[in-house]
Amino acid sequence: MQLNDTALGSVAKPARYTGGEWNMIQKDPAKVDVRFALVLPDVYDVGMSNLGLKILYGILNERTDTYAERAYCPWPDMEAVMRSSGDLLCSLETHTPLQQFDAVGISLQYEMTYTNILTMLDLGGIPLLAADRSGNDPLVIGGGPCAFNPEPVADFFDCFVIGEGEEIIGEIAAVIAEWNQSGRAGGRPEVLEKLARIQGLYVPAFYHVDYNADGTCAGVKPKRPELSSVIAKRVVADLDGAYFPVRPIVPYLETVHDRIMLELFRGCTRGCRFCQAGVIYRPVRERKPATLMRLAQELTDNTGYDEISLVSLSSADYSCLRELAHSLLAEFAPQRVSLSLPSLRIDSFSIELANEIQKVRRSGLTFAPEAGTQRLRDVINKGVTEADLFEAAGAAFRSGWAGIKLYFMIGLPTETDEDVLAIAELARKVLSLSRNPARCKVSVSVSTFVPKPHTPFQWFAQIPAEEMERRQRLLRGALRDRRISFNWHDAPTSRLEGVFARGDRRLGKTLLEAWRNGARFDGWSEHFRADIWDAAFAASRIDPDFYTVRQRAAHEIMPWTHLTSGVSQEWLAAEWVEAQKGSLTQDCRHADCTGCGVCQDLGVSVIDWRA
Amino acid sequence: MEKFRIALKKGEAVKYVGHLDFGRAIERAFRRAKLPVAYSVGFNPHMRLSFGPALGVGIASEAEYVDVEMSEAVDAKQFSRSLSEKLPPGLVLVAAQPVSSNASLAAELNLAAYQARTTGLVGAEQVAAAEAAVKRLQQSESVTYLRRSPKGIKTMDLKNYLVGELETEAAAESFAVRFWLRMTPGGAVKPQEVMRALVEQFGFPVGDTAYCRMALRAETNAGQKTAFEI
């Protein structure tokens, strides 16, 4: 059912809830075997910017037996309206309540969206706990980066996809189609049983978690012998031949990434030790320049966008970037389509390229040195020197950019006050490189490091919230210059993110409690309520410090040890040792294999068209 | 340079798309249609489009007007066909004509006809109350309306903006009120404000109301003109 005019007329940005965009897929739901709702548990403006769901939407809708629709989280104003009117959360395509779908696929991009999942399930008329769902309730399926440790939300999901979705999504649709055709013989247990046989699919209810007396995890073990004890991620071996959506939906509302996203390659093997994406998306697999040219033209024709963003974890590392950029410019500048390169490397090549492709010096350039001192950059394996940064910043100023943004983290392992203060020093030095420092602006953005699963820093004790705030104050005091702007992340949010990032299944009750007491959109500072979370931890008898500020022992079994990215725990542990020595590990894309294990374990290889 | 004036219908499905987003959607449709639209010069060239008076969010429209300058001559039929194919669902091309006039749509079009269709009225009594409310508003010398905004409260007399008679039409499932509103350089009244006054001051029954702009006209010394006549 569609929301009525009174409801839509009383909320901000009502077009978030009405759909009908260009390229939206319309099918007759009565003529398909499987109905999927694809969900990103954040507001439309954010959710519509997610590339992963655009891919899955395209793949599922290419199947004649399946119809995939979309739903995003209602903003609190709309949630209030729906609760008072009793309207159920519906898909944007056919206005079907979520409870009527066969499957609800939820993308887990960020821990701070977890309460929104509960909002959406509840408003969609779906029982929150997987254990409470029965015959006709949808299968709730999670995927995305946070599915690499899904334990804190395991109670709310029927299953999770570990790794890349391009291939497995069709396998899941086929199982559900067959189950539906059989009149749902055997009920939910039967379909979950079949889904669990798909490689890369994890059914948490089929696994039992044991804990030690000290509260640490003793193991997550299958309840039946036929289930795998370790679930390896799915990975697309041939990205160049993989599906890429050339008819993405073009929203009316301006979304966070309101432009063509052209994915140059997947994976990054630079090996920054804090970075989870650098581990879970291994190995690097590039698309061919010719493929990208063809995709770019189809995307331009089909969307009407006037900007192509070259996206990847580190786009400047694309082996054929110069040739590709030149070809794209030659082809698209006459069509009045511009290019943008969102992730710059800190070197003069990047600046040169940015100059060539960005004729209009719009927003300033962004660099991410991540840490203030060379020592600490070596600890995190960020292979960038101060000289690199000065060279890049100098070149940027000389080419007329008036602003530079610098991204750093505080709270990295082994960080001292000296490292924190060095951030201010670095910002000042960058500013002084400008020929006209009075008119130039440097902005310093400092996030707080949150240790993530499947990284060399997964054992590390996160710094306490008070310490985060002390270091932020220290830095703020050292950055008293009106040409340098400074912004940072709220410590309580970083702490909560830390709890859920490395949390275990016991956190499900904390999450439910916090949500019941009103926690919503926790990643948005205007909505985050630390008091609700403090009360929820107390009520569920969970000590958040157990998950955050506790250093894990080397031999500790992590709540995600039964899920693997293909990168071995031994390699991660070795990297942790190297980090503490400040010793660098090279990029296997250009140098020898570093033995992380992903290629050997999953039967894939690095694909770099230059190599 | 050749210029086309187009009339578009903005349907129920897209009536919550705001004015700027509507403009962007039209630009993208022109890009998909690969029509030779002229661009401004300068560092950040943009399509040479100009729009009629902004339509409020939540209001459908039978006739939205856009002027578009072309960089080369295009056959009118081909123009219409190419654009129609590439308009998103809910936006429908009603007419497209080459124009030579330099009149600004936003400045010249100063009269708008609206329809407010209310559903959820129960029984003959509520319909009678609705009829009576409209009649009493019609007969009032002035109708004071307080517009509350973050900037403060503005007092307006709706009668300064209402042009001519309000019309009503009771159907089986709904009750429609139709009226003309004048847009002035000093401001305008939203159709929702007329309905709110009807409910709050004249006892019009509360229901779910859908709005549509039915027509735009230019009021001149020589009488009323349509968008294609100015």
Structural domains for chain A? 5-225 (3.40.50.280), 260-489+566-601 (3.80.30.20)
In total, chain B counts a number of residues equal to 230
* B13: chain A residues, CB-CB within 8 Å: 18-20
The chain A residue lying nearest B58, using CA atoms, is A9
Query: Which two three-digit tokens encode residue A26?
Result: 């319309």
Cβ-based contacts of B89 with chain A (< 8 Å): 20, 22, 24
Residue of A nearest to B206 (CA): A6
Average pLDDT over residues A351-373: 82
Q: What is the pLDDT of residue A362?
A: 58
- The ipTM assigned to this model is 0.93
- Quote the pLDDT of residue B173: 87
User: What do you get for the CA distance between the two ends of chain A, in Å?
Assistant: 54
- The reply to whether domains B3-108 and B111-225 share a CATH topology is yes
Chain-chain contact of B209 with A253 (C-beta, under 8 angstroms)? no
* Mean pLDDT, range A296-312, rounded to an integer: 97
Question: Domain extents for chain B?
Answer: 3-108, 111-225
Rounded to an integer, what distance in angstroms lies between the CA atom of residue A166 and that of residue A281? 13
Q: What is the pLDDT of residues A129-172, one digit of tens each?
A: 999 999 899 999 999 999 999 999 999 999 999 999 999 999 99
Q: Chain B contacts of A252, Cβ < 8 Å?
A: 14, 17, 21-22, 24-25, 88
Cβ <8 Å between A22 and B25: yes
d(CA A503, CA A490): 20
Helices A348-357 and A321-332, packing angle to 10 deg: 10
Domain B3-108 in this protein, CATH class: alpha beta
Alpha carbon of A21: minimum distance to chain B alpha carbons (Å):
6
What's the confidence (pLDDT) of residue B123?
86
What pLDDT is stored for residue A575 in this prediction? 97
Q: Which residue in A14, A253, A304 is closest to B58 by CB distance?
A: A14
* Chain B residue with Cα closest to A23: B88
Contact residues on chain A for B25, CB-CB shorter than 8 A: 22, 250, 252
CA distance A476 to A468: 12
What pLDDT was estimated at residue A3? 86
Q: In chain A, what percentage of residues exceed pLDDT 70?
A: 99
Name every chain A residue with its beta carbon within 8 A of the beta carbon of B212. none
State the pLDDT at residue B42: 84
B→A contacts (Cβ < 8 Å), by residue, are: 13-14, 16-18, 21-22, 24-25, 27-32, 34, 39, 43-45, 57-58, 86, 88-90, 192, 208-211
Beta strands at B162-170 and B152-157: parallel, antiparallel or unpaired: unpaired
**pLDDT for B108 beyond 60:** yes
Q: Which residue has the tokens 């080419």?
A: A399
**Separation between Cα atoms, residue B162 and residue B180, nearest integer Å:** 6
- The token pair that represents A295 in the structure block: 């995709």
Helix (H, G, I), strand (E, B) or coil at B217: strand
Q: Do B32 and A302 touch (CB under 8 A)?
A: yes
State what percent of residues in chain A have pLDDT above 90. 90
Q: What residue type is assigned to position B30 of the chain?
A: F
A6, A20, A254: residue with CB nearest B14: A20
CA distance B57 to chain A (A): 8
pLDDT of A129: 98
Please report residues of A whose CB lies closer than 8 A to that of B59.
none
A611 — pLDDT class (breaks 50, 70, 90): low
Q: What confidence score (pLDDT) does residue A135 get?
A: 83
Count of CA atoms in the C-beta half-sphere (13 A) of A292: 28
For residue B215, which of B112, B104, B115, B116 has the smallest C-alpha distance? B112
Per-residue pLDDT, averaged over B160-177, amounts to 94
**Mutation site, A13, A22, A26, A363, interface B, largest B CB count within 10 A:** A22
Q: Which two tokens stand for residue B125?
A: 């009594």
- Interface residues of A toward B, Cβ cutoff 8 Å, are 4-6, 8-9, 14-15, 17-22, 24, 250, 252-254, 301-306, 336, 359-360
CB A571 within 8 A of CB A596: yes
Using a CB-CB cut-off of 8 Å, the residues of chain B touching A9 are 58, 192
DSSP string computed for A23-62: T-----GGG-SEEEEEEESS-HHHHTT-HHHHHHHHHHHH
Nearest to A20 among B29, B34, B89 (CB): B89
Residue of chain A minimizing CA distance to B17: A15
Decide yes or no: CATH 3.30.70 for domain B111-225: yes
Q: Please tell me which of the candidates A14, A21, A304 has its beta carbon nearest to residue B57.
A: A14
Residue pair B76/B70 in contact (Cβ under 8 Å)? The answer is: no
- What was the pLDDT predicted at B186? 85
Residues of chain B in contact with residue A336, where contact means CB-CB under 8 angstroms, are 31, 39, 45
Residues on chain A touching B58 (C-beta within 8 angstroms) = 5, 8-9, 14
Residues of A in contact with B176 (CB under 8 A): none
| Preceding amide of A138 cis, omega within 30 | no
CB-CB under 8 Å, B43 with A20? no
A23: left (phi over 0), alpha (psi -120 to 50) or beta: left
pLDDT bracket for residue A605 (50, 70, 90): very high
- Nearest-neighbour CA in chain B from A45: distance (Å): 13
Inter-chain CB proximity A336 and B30 less than 8 Å: no
A252, A253, A297, A299: best to mutate for the B interface, most B CBs within 10 A: A252
In angstroms, the CA A321 to CA A265 distance is 11
* Partner-chain contact B16 A14, CB within 8 Å: yes
Closest partner residue to B16 among A18, A24, A301, by Cβ? A18
**Residue A549 exposed, middle or buried by CB count within 10 Å (0-12, 13-18, 19+):** middle
Q: Average pLDDT, stretch A176-198?
A: 96
Q: Which residue of A has its CA nearest to B23?
A: A252
Checking if the pLDDT of A211 tops 60, the result is yes
Highest mean pLDDT among A389-398, A410-419, B115-124: A410-419
Q: Residues of chain B with pLDDT > 90: what percent?
A: 87
Residue B101, min C-alpha distance to chain A (Å): 28
Residue pair A410/A449 in contact by the 8 Å Cβ criterion: yes
Residues of A in contact with B43 (CB under 8 A): 359-360
What is the number of other CB atoms lying within 10 angstroms of the CB of residue A13?
Answer: 18
A301 contacts B88? CB cut-off 8 A: no
CB–CB of B209 and A6 under 8 A? Answer: yes
Q: Six-digit token pair at B166?
A: 């309000």
Taking only the tens place, the pLDDT of each residue in A9-35 is: 999 999 999 999 999 999 999 999 999
Nearest CA to A94 among A164, A24, A160, A158? Answer: A24
Q: What are the residues whose beta carbons fall under 8 Å from the beta carbon of A28, sequence distance 6 or more?
A: none
Which of B18, B21, B29 faces A304 most closely, judged by CB atoms? B29
Residue A326: which pLDDT band, with cuts at 50, 70 and 90? very high
Would you say residue A361 has pLDDT above 60?
A: no
Q: Is pLDDT above 90 for B156?
A: yes
**How confident is the prediction for chain A on average, in pLDDT?**
95
Total beta-carbon pairs less than 8 A apart between chain A and chain B: 72
- Across the interface, whether the CB atoms of A5 and B208 are under 8 A apart is answered yes
Gap from A390 CA to chain B (nearest CA, Å): 28
Across the range A338-364, mean pLDDT stands at 80
Which of A20, A305, A359 is opposite residue B28, by nearest beta carbon? A305
Q: Chain A closest CA to B208's CA: distance in Å? A: 6
